[in-house]
Amino acid sequence: MKPNYIEYRLGSQSAYVRADKLSEIRRIDVIVFDCDGVLIDISESYVKAVAETTRFLVEAFTGRTLPESLFDGALNSAYKQRGGFNNDWTLAYALVMRVLAESPEAGSINRLALESLNCPDVYGRYKFIKENGVDAKIDFAGLHGKLMDFSRVLDETGGESVDAQLLPELEGVKRALSHPGDVGESMVSTMFEEFFLGATLFQETFQTPAKFNESPVGYVENEKVVIADKALDWLEALIGGPRFGIASGSLANTARHVLGGILSRFHPAAQVWHDDVAAAERETGGSLHKPSPYSLLRASEPFRPYNRVLYVGDTMADKLMAENAGEGFLFAGVFGCVAAKEETKSALLEAGSAMVLTSVNQLPTVLRLLK
């Protein structure tokens, strides 16, 4: 049964609160935030980096250039709401694999990918693929609908669910792309970060020069800080001090670049980034990225003992992470800073989020009304 929501009109925007969660919401004394789409407006950055990465890789394999109009907000939202595509490297991987599978020459594409494995690194592999690309056909008519349909058979396992659908036919492509893998290991993550960060910030972040993208600036420069200092002031008064953390799939250096001085408002020991989770995974050998609760639990740890922890995110992976954290954790979904606002809003309500907000800056007003 769909939960009952109370709608609050806050100026021209609305906020929604689950009626059966009011008593728990009043007990919130720690707030942990996702970064991208919550603290930062990413509507003009990540979607474009995913599109650029997908277009470059498909063109290298096939010689065909995908239309920019293919990558709209609805497509992005469809994958984000499956729960396994919080990481945009995985989203780009899913789109590349599905588009290549659509080609009648998929077998030849796979053989080319296997041949590229003789090259020692991702840049050499890409160059070999581009120079020897298959003259492949891709029917652009109806491709958007096919990608949307593909999202519906995927789940919170993300890349694993992609592989379950498309392997072994594209096993060689998967190996050539080296997904999953970090920057420098995977063609997908390396290319994505070069387009997203730009050559200058990429070299600063990874201590290696960019080779896929020579432009000094990337799509990250389109991002804007959303969270207001005044909103954090009000939240401090409501929950008993600066009890704020961050659990984000963003790279730490990227976040620092965009957030600037406002990052000092968040407890240093309660900031958990992609880099931290990847390091923990190397130690444990397990999968700790969202929707695993690892980063949320770690970000909450400095504030023990606590009554209720609110996690504020914008995707289904964020919602699942809060659920997986167990009793004492609530989820607030924010939809105003993503590419497909209405689709995201509907999905967050349908999933039963404790709160659904247009902007993170509505949070202090809603908490004040409830408390």
Architecture (CATH level 2) of domain 5-42+223-370: 3-Layer(aba) Sandwich (3.40)
Answer for the pair 344, 82: CB distance below 8 angstroms, yes or no: no
CA distances (Å), origin 130, targets 65, 125, 164, 180: 13, 9, 27, 21
The domain segmentation of the chain, as residue ranges, is 5-42+223-370, 46-221
* Closest of 45, 71, 39, 38 to residue 348, by C-alpha: 38
In the chain, beta strands by DSSP E: 5-10, 13-18, 28-33, 40-41, 224-225, 244-247, 271-272, 308-313, 329-334, 355-357
* Closest of 253, 244, 258, 292 to residue 273, by C-alpha: 253
For residue 271, report the phi and psi dihedrals to the nearest 5 degrees.
Answer: -105, 115
Q: What is the C-alpha to C-alpha distance for residues 356 and 171, in angstroms, rounded to an integer?
A: 40
Give the angle 20-24-28 at the CA atoms, nearest 5°.
Answer: 145
Taking only the tens of pLDDT, the chain with its 371 residues reads 679 999 999 988 999 999 999 999 999 999 999 999 999 999 899 999 999 999 999 999 999 999 999 999 899 989 998 999 999 999 999 999 999 999 999 999 999 999 999 998 999 999 999 999 999 999 999 999 999 999 999 999 999 999 999 999 999 999 999 999 999 999 999 999 999 999 999 999 999 999 999 999 999 999 999 999 999 999 999 999 999 999 999 999 999 999 999 999 999 999 999 999 999 999 999 899 999 999 999 999 999 999 999 999 999 999 999 999 999 999 999 999 887 888 889 999 999 999 999 999 999 999 999 97
Q: What is the C-alpha to C-alpha distance for residues 160 and 180, in angstroms, rounded to an integer?
A: 10
Work out the number of other CB atoms within 10 angstroms of the CB of residue 298: 20
Q: What is the C-alpha to C-alpha distance for residues 265 and 39, in angstroms, rounded to an integer?
A: 12
